[in-house]
Structure formats: C-alpha cells, structure tokens
C-alpha cells in the first residue's frame, strides 16, 4: 500500500467520524426540538404570565446551551481537522524530499549501469574472439583425436588378433598337455597292472608249478573300454590234462562302477549346433560338455527333452544362473539314479530309457533345438 492510499484511508476515517459527529448533533437537536414542542404544548395548557415567562427563559437558556455546545464541538472538529491537514502536509513534504533523494540515487545508479553495460559489451566482444579461437583449436584437437583413435583401434585389433592366436596356441597346448597327462596316467596304470599281473602269475607259478602252466593273454583277448580307467584282461590257466580253468577278470583296485553305462555309448551318436553338446550317458544320467576352450556358456532356462517312441517322457529345465565353464562336464540325473541327490536332478524324468527307440533333445532359452543324443538306429 502506497503513501497516497494511506492518506486516502485516513481522510475517509476522519470524514466518517465527522459525519457521525454531525449525526449525533442533529439527533440531539431533534430531541431538544421535540422536548421544546412538548413544553410549548404544556405551556399552552397553562397560559399564565408567570409560566410563560418561565418557559421563555428556559427555552432561551436551552437554545443558548445548544448553540454553545455546537460551537464548542465545531471548534474542536475544526482544530482536529487543521492538525490533521498540517500533519499530512508535513508528511507529504518529507515524502517528496525522500522521493527526490531516491530519484537522484536512481539516476546515479542508471549512469553506473550504463558504464557497466559498456564495459560488458567490450568484454563480450573479447570473449567472442576468444571463443572463435578456441573453437578452431577444438576442431584441430578433434581431428588429431580421430587420427589417434584410428591408430589406437588398428593397434588394438592387431593386439586382439595376436591375443586370439596366443589363446588358440594355449588351447592347443593345453589339449596336448591333457593328452600327455592322460597318456602318462594310462601308462602308469598299465605298468601297475602288469606288475600286479606278474606278481599274480609268479604266485600261481610257485603254487601250481607241478600241475599248471600259465598262458599269457594274447592281443586278441585284450578288451579296452572307452572309459579312462584302463584296460581289463582274462587269464587262462591250463592243467596237465588240457583242461582250461577260467579265472575271474582282474582289474584295477580303484575301479569305479558308477562310470559304467548299461548300454555301450558307442552305439549312440550326438549332434550339436554350438559348443554345448551331449557326449555320453551313464547309469540314469546324461553328460553335457562345453567343448569351448576359453568361453563359458549360460544355460539359464535351457531345457532337456527326453522322448520315448516319439512321445515326450519328461522335461528338465536348467536353473537360473547355471553356467558351464570351458571344458566342463555336467551330469543330469533322473529320479531312479543312485546319485539323485545331486544338484542337477530331473525331477520330471523318472528314468532315462537309453534304448534304440529313445532320443534326448537339448533346447536353449529361445526354445530352439541346439543338439540331440540318440541311438544310431533311431529314425529321426
């Protein structure tokens, strides 16, 4: 609210107070007139000279009192209005002085702002020239950066190709090393087996040297299994009367029967589109291998379908976050497996029927067939 609005509000308040005072005076005058009329009416009833003089004096006194009161109130109101107007005039003079001072300060501020704007224009022009120079330098640096990036990418590709070649060589060397290790293990097992065989033959020779002659096994009688646990042989013992006693088969002491398959795995074949494939089956389980030498594979939500006579017998869904590492093998067991407490147990497959009318299919998370494992005589 401005000073003028305040003055207007004060003036309206004083004017309303004056109007109320005038209303009160008018009301008192009307009351006194009514009272005088009543007294006049009473005087008319009692029209003696004494009463008339008495009422005449009282009337003059009342009128004089009313005039005096009116003049007193008028003087007070006039004095109040004069004081209010003097006060307002002094306030207006003071406000005009303040306005003049603020106006002079505003003029000085405008002059200062003008000088500051002129300085800013000079600085902006300098900044424009500097920005143009910087933009040219940035373009040059971008061109240099692109050239260096191309050179770096070319060097990175060369290093990547060299790294891939080294990885391939390392994979080949690791395969050769694994082959040599397996050969060494097999040779040690063969040596231990022959040592055991010779000890048994020596014991037999010393025990039955009067009645028996030991025949060494011929190469035709050697039966080597496709598993990695070594070889097995049959030992024939002849007596002097040309009778042949068949001894039981002598095998390694660390022979593990859980690695045997109920049906020869060589009668089955497998197919795969990628690195993950089904390589063999064992008692109530099937083995999956990642043939890649340096990349893991995520088998989350992959499925294993087992078909018998063309009908779906059961499904196994790989759990989420199932990864098969390079050259790693995973065995999936059925409910009838002796190792059904393993982590990879197909709860929806009661048993794996590995016969000539069964087929096991591996499906990825997009429900696309990536491999199968079936009998060689299976009709696809």
Non-local (6+) Cβ contacts of 338 within 8 A are 258, 283, 284
Calculate mean pLDDT across residues 202-230: 42
**pLDDT confidence tier of residue 67, bands split at 50, 70 and 90:** confident
Q: What is the pLDDT of residue 259?
A: 33
DSSP string covering 284-321: TEEEEEE--SS--EE-TT-EEEEEETTEEEEEEEPPTT
Percentage of the chain modeled with pLDDT above 70: 80
Average pLDDT value over all residues in the chain: 78
pLDDT at 260: 32
Q: What is the pLDDT of residues 235-284, one digit of tens each?
A: 333 333 333 333 333 333 333 333 333 334 458 888 899 899 999 888 78
Q: How far from the centroid of its chain's Cα atoms is residue 10's Cα?
A: 68
**pLDDT higher at 209 or 240:** 209
What's the pLDDT band for 213 if we cut at 50, 70, 90?
Answer: very low
Separation of alpha carbons 198 and 195, rounded Å:
5
CA angle 54, 57, 61 (to 5 degrees): 140
Sorting pLDDT into bands at 50, 70 and 90, what band is 14? confident
Please report the beta strands in the chain, taking only residues with DSSP state E, as ranges in sequence order.
Answer: 212-215, 223-224, 231-232, 236-239, 244-246, 268-272, 276-282, 285-290, 297-298, 303-308, 311-317, 323-324, 329-333, 358-363, 369-375
Residue 74 token pair: 């008028």
Check pLDDT > 50 for residue 6: yes
Region 100-116 average pLDDT: 92
Q: What is the dihedral sign for C-alpha 193, 199, 200, 205?
A: positive
DSSP helix/strand/coil, 325: coil
**Residue that has been written with the tokens 């199932």 in this structure:** 322
Dist. CA 373–CA 221, nearest whole Å:
31
The pLDDT value recorded for residue 157 is 92
Label residue 47 by pLDDT band (50, 70, 90).
low
DSSP state, 161? H
| Cα 129 from Cα 122, distance rounded (Å) | 11
The whole-angstrom separation of Cα 207 and Cα 292 is 55
Q: pLDDT category, 45, cuts 50, 70, 90?
A: low
CA–CA separation, 230 vs 58, rounded Å? 156
- Tens digits of per-residue pLDDT, 173-195? 999 998 898 888 989 888 888 88
| Averaged pLDDT, 208-223 | 36
Answer yes or no: pTM beyond 0.75.
no
Proportion of the chain above pLDDT 90, given as a percent: 32
Confidence class of residue 146 from pLDDT cuts 50, 70 and 90? very high
CATH superfamily name and code, 258-375: Lamin Tail domain (2.60.40.1260)
Q: Which residue has the tokens 């009351």?
A: 31
pLDDT category of residue 342 using cuts at 50, 70 and 90:
low
The domain locations on the chain are 3-113, 258-375
């Amino acid at each position: 609210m401005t000073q003028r609005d305040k003055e207007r509000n004060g003036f309206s308040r004083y004017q309303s107070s004056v109007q109320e005072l005038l209303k009160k005076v008018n009301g008192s005058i009307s009351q006194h007139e009514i009272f005088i009329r009543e007294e006049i009416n009473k005087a008319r009833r009692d029209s003696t000279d004494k009463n008339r003089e008495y009422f005449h004096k009282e009337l003059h006194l009342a009128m004089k009192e009313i005039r005096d009161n009116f003049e007193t109130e008028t003087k007070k109101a006039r004095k109040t209005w004069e004081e209010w107007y003097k006060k307002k005039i002094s306030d207006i003079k003071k406000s005009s002085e303040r306005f003049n001072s603020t106006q002079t300060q505003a003029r000085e501020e405008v002059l200062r702002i003008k000088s500051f704007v002129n300085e800013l224009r000079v600085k902006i022009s300098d900044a424009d020239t500097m920005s143009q120079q910087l933009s040219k330098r940035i373009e040059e640096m971008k061109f240099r950066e692109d050239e260096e990036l191309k050179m770096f990418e070319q060097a990175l590709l060369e290093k990547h190709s060299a790294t891939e070649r080294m990885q391939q060589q390392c994979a080949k060397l690791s395969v050769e090393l694994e082959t040599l290790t397996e050969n060494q293990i097999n040779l040690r097992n063969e040596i231990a087996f022959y040592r055991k065989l010779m000890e048994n033959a020596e014991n037999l020779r010393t025990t039955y040297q009067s009645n028996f002659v030991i025949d060494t096994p011929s190469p035709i009688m050697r039966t080597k299994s496709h598993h990695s646990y070594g070889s097995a042989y049959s030992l024939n013992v002849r007596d002097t009367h040309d009778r042949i006693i068949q001894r039981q088969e002598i095998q390694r002491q660390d022979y593990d029967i859980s690695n045997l398959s109920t049906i020869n795995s060589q009668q089955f074949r497998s197919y795969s589109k990628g690195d993950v494939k089904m390589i063999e089956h064992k008692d109530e389980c099937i083995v999956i291998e990642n043939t890649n030498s340096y990349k893991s594979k995520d088998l989350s939500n992959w499925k294993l379908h087992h078909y018998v006579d063309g009908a779906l017998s059961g499904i196994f869904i790989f759990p989420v976050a199932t990864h098969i590492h390079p050259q790693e093998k995973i065995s999936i067991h059925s409910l009838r497996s002796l190792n059904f407490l393993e982590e990879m147990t197909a709860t929806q497959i009661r048993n794996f029927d590995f016969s000539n009318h069964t087929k096991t299919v591996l499906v990825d998370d997009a429900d696309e067939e990536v491999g199968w494992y079936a009998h060689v005589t299976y009709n696809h």
